[in-house]
Amino acid sequence: MKKLLLLVCLLPSLCLGQVVSKGHQKYNYLDGRVSADTTPARNKGKNILVVGDSFCNDGNELKEAIEAVVTADKVYKSCVPGIQLSAILTNAQAFMANSANWVGGKRPDILIIHGGVNDVNTGNSATTMTGRINSLITFARTAQLIPVVLTPPPYKTNSGWSAGEQTEYDSYMTSLLARSDIIVVDTYTLLEDDAVADTLLPAYDGGDGLHPNSTGYAAMATLINTSITSLQNKLTN
């Protein structure tokens, strides 16, 4: 699936969909309203929760790669291999429901979401996947987290791939990348081999045609950092 590499957030006033602190005012990124706020704003944008599947589970390096390049006081993760977007939502809800998870009281401000490949390769449609990612986004906003959604990876050379799955995959990602109400980081295009569509670039391949190696995770983290740096500047006093 060839696309331009995008950090999709065409209208910053629409990307976050929640009230966050900006100096001593409250700025509503959903509609751009500003209202007086005499309460000192807490330092936001420094704590990140990464949720997903095996890409950020122990032994894989997405969280560690993010920690290496993103300015953050704390990066948390809640990731389990093989799970679908619906289970990723359940895990995110459980993490946020227990404040004991927040080291030193550092509550997450940004939710980075990686998932989708386990949905499509078990027969789920693009429509189902879109509904599931919408549920994750709704949860994030309700929990006062800013959602940052990563497109899932190319995986044509992986044993789990099929042409039918790729059709649903492409439809899901086309819909996701067209959105202007959330931040979408196009890691699919970043990791894709320009010479062989829908396959993981050999330089980034961890060996199974699906999971990146450390170089691939580092490239993902750099792109994520680019997408959220300006966001963190808005959120930090």
Q: Tens digits of per-residue pLDDT, 114-146?
A: 999 999 999 999 999 999 999 999 999 999 999
pLDDT beyond 80 at 5: no
Q: Tens digits of per-residue pLDDT, 145-171?
A: 999 999 999 999 999 999 999 999 999
pTM of the model: 0.82
Q: What does DSSP say about strands 25-28 and 34-36: parallel, antiparallel, or unpaired?
A: antiparallel
73/12: higher pLDDT:
73
Instruction: State the pLDDT at residue 59.
Output: 74
Percent of the chain with pLDDT over 70: 77
Give 31's pLDDT tier (boundaries 50, 70, 90): very low
Give 232's pLDDT tier (boundaries 50, 70, 90): low
Give 234's pLDDT tier (boundaries 50, 70, 90): low
Q: Where are the domains of the chain?
A: 7-235
Q: Out of 3.40.50.720, 3.40.50.300, 3.40.50.1110, 2.40.128.260, which CATH number does the structure's domain 7-235 have? A: 3.40.50.1110
Q: Tens digits of per-residue pLDDT, 171-190?
A: 999 999 998 888 999 999 99
